[in-house]
Structure 1
Amino acid sequence: MKYSKWSAILAMICAITIFASYAIAPKQPEGMMVVFIQILFFTAIITGLLSLICSYLGFRNKEKGFLKRIAPIIVAVILLV
């Protein structure tokens, strides 16, 4: 199993869901919109953590390539934004 590939995929899902949760959020969310935004937000947090774990496993298994380095960079950019 290539952990670096999953790390990059999960990092992209994290970025998409976190930016989508902010992009669709109205000033005063109500009803099901609140639940939908929470689902997107917590999905972003979970996939971000999983991508960092997969990246760590990729480094530990000495996988070749640059994909294992993408997840920490994407998560850091999300935190900075």
Structure 2
Amino acid sequence: MNNSYSKWSAILAIICAAAIFASYAIAPKQPEGMMVVLIQVLFFTAIITGLLSLIFSFVGVRKKEPGYLKFVAPVIVCLVILTFLISFAIMVVSFF
């Protein structure tokens, strides 16, 4: 292996963000049948790739890989989490 943990970390973080936003973008108000399975696959794929990207990022930092790609995954995962926290806060405020 050529120690490209940083590259895989960034790729997996992008897949994580794309999968989580796709699962919410395609979800109808009342999902039925195969749509439920597709949404679940996208959602859990996003969680798994997000965790793997953070692990690869950590390994890249520990192995002192050059470049900035090892810091892309934590930033993307934090932005995804921040997006959902802000949307949740807006939903809570809208009920008042």
- TM normalised by structure 2 equals 0.84
Q: Which residue of 1 aligns with 2:70?
A: 68
| Deviating 4+ runs (over 6 angstroms) | none
The structure showing larger relative contact order (alpha-carbon pairs under 8 Å, at least 6 residues apart) is 1
Report the equivalent of 2:42: 40
Whole-angstrom distance in 2 between the partners of 1:79 and 1:50: 16
**CA shift for structure 1 position 43:** 0.1
In the alignment, is residue 4 of structure 1 matched against residue 10 of structure 2? Answer: no
Q: Give 1:44 deviation, angstroms.
A: 0.1
Equivalent in 11, 14, 19 of residue 17 of structure 1:
19
Letter paired with 2:25: A
Gaps (5+ residues) in structure 2? 84-96
Identity %: 73
Deviation at 1:56, TM superposition (A): 0.1
TM normalised by structure 1 equals 0.99
Deviations 1:23-68 (A, max 9, x none): 0000000011000000000000000000000000000000010000
Letter in 1 for 2:54: L
> Which protein is bigger by CA-based radius of gyration?
2
* Residue 6 (structure 1) shift: 0.3
Q: CA RMSD in A?
A: 0.4
Report the CA distance between 1:14 and its aligned residue.
Answer: 0.2
